[in-house]
Amino acid sequence: MTGTRRTLDVAPLPTFAFGNRGLIWWGTVGFMVIEGSMFVIGLVVYFYLRLKVTDWPPSVPNPDLRYGTMNLTVVLASILPAAISKRAAEKFDLPRTRRWLVVLVLFGVAAVVLRAFEYTTLNCRWDDNAYGSIVWVLLSMHTIHVATDVVDSVILALLTFTHPVTGPRFVDLSENSLYWFFIVAWWIPIYVTIYFMPRWL
């Protein structure tokens, strides 16, 4: 039997899309919102605990500024390779995307190494008091994000060498930078909280 039907022909549509037109963006942003909510709760807990004692930080010295500030500089500077890599991916420029992704990975590794030094200059342990607990947790929550995205970027960079880089892969490369921006953006309030609130509050 044969019949004719009204059809909406979507065959010519592309097989991927960047940004909020595509699916990966929604997954990435979904997890950014979840993790962002956790950072918000971490910060709220910090200030809540502040209200419970008279001295802040309670009976431990202030954290040293050196490594945390160096790390702030590094992650702020890393916005540049992330942005260039993102823009290049959206123009399907593989060599440029790859080059700046590798630079981004180097920045990420530097941030992780500096982070290790940061722990040594917090001047408190997690089990000293509630202040120490929340400072360690805030720093560790952010470290887990940095480290995870560094590994993620390494894998993506590897894939650009081992596999043909198709349209959807360029989308992955673009969204990888978006997630990095998210991690960088969160370091600013967390840095200010960890390093300056003991001095200001």
Partner 1 sequence: MSDAMVVERRATITTADEERLRRQLSDTWYVPRGIIGWFSVADHKTIGRRYIITAFGFFIFAGVLAAMMRLQLAVPNNHFIGPDLYNQIFTVHGTMMMFLFAVPVMEAMGIYLVPLMVGTRNIAFPRLNAYSYYVYLFGGVMLVITMLMNTAPDVGWFSYVPLAGPDYTPGKRADFWAQLITFTEVAALAVSVELVTTILKTRAPGMSLNRMPLFVWAMLVTAFMVIFAMPAIVASSSFLLLDRLVGTHFYNPAEGGDSLLWQHLFWFFGHPEVYIIFVPALGMVSSIVSALTSRPIFGYSAMVLSLVATGFIGFGLWVHHMFATGLPALGLEYFTAASIVIAIPTGIQIFCWIASLWRGRPRFQTPLLFVLGFFAIFVLGGLSGVTLASVPFDLQAHDTYYVVAHFHYVLLGGAVFPLIGGIYFWFPKFTGRMMEDALGKWNFWLLFVGFNVTFFPMHILGLEGMPRRVYTYPDNMGWNTLNLVASAGALLLVFGGALFVYNVVRSYRWGVIASENPWGAETLEWSVSSPPPVYNFLHVPVVEGRCALWDRSADPPIVAGIRSDCREVLVTDVMDAEPVHKAAYPEPSLWPFACAVVTSAFFVGSIFTPWALPVSIIPLAMTLIGWFWPRKKESQRHDERVHAMQEARA
Q: How many residues does the chain have?
A: 201
Q: Is 181 among the residues that bind partner 1 (CB under 8 A)?
A: no
Interface pick for partner 1 out of 47, 48, 73, 201 (rule CB under 8 A): 48
Q: Is 12 among the residues that bind partner 1 (CB under 8 A)?
A: yes
First to last CA, the chain: 80
Q: Is 161 among the residues that bind partner 1 (CB under 8 A)?
A: no
Binding track over 139-158 against partner 1, x by CB under 8 A: ------------x---x---
- Which pair of tokens denotes residue 164? 């043909």
- For partner 1, the binding residues in 85-124 under the rule CB under 8 A are none
Instruction: Count other Cβ atoms within 10 Å, centred on residue 69.
Output: 14
Instruction: Count other Cβ atoms within 10 Å, centred on residue 91.
Output: 10
- Which pair of tokens denotes residue 23? 């699916």
The site that binds partner 1 (CB under 8 A) totals a number of residues, namely 58
CA-based nearest residue to 28, from 156, 189, 181: 181
Q: Which residues bind partner 1 (CB under 8 A)?
A: 1-17, 20-23, 26-27, 30-31, 33-35, 37-38, 41-42, 45, 48-49, 52-53, 58, 126-134, 136-137, 151, 155, 159, 163-164, 166-169
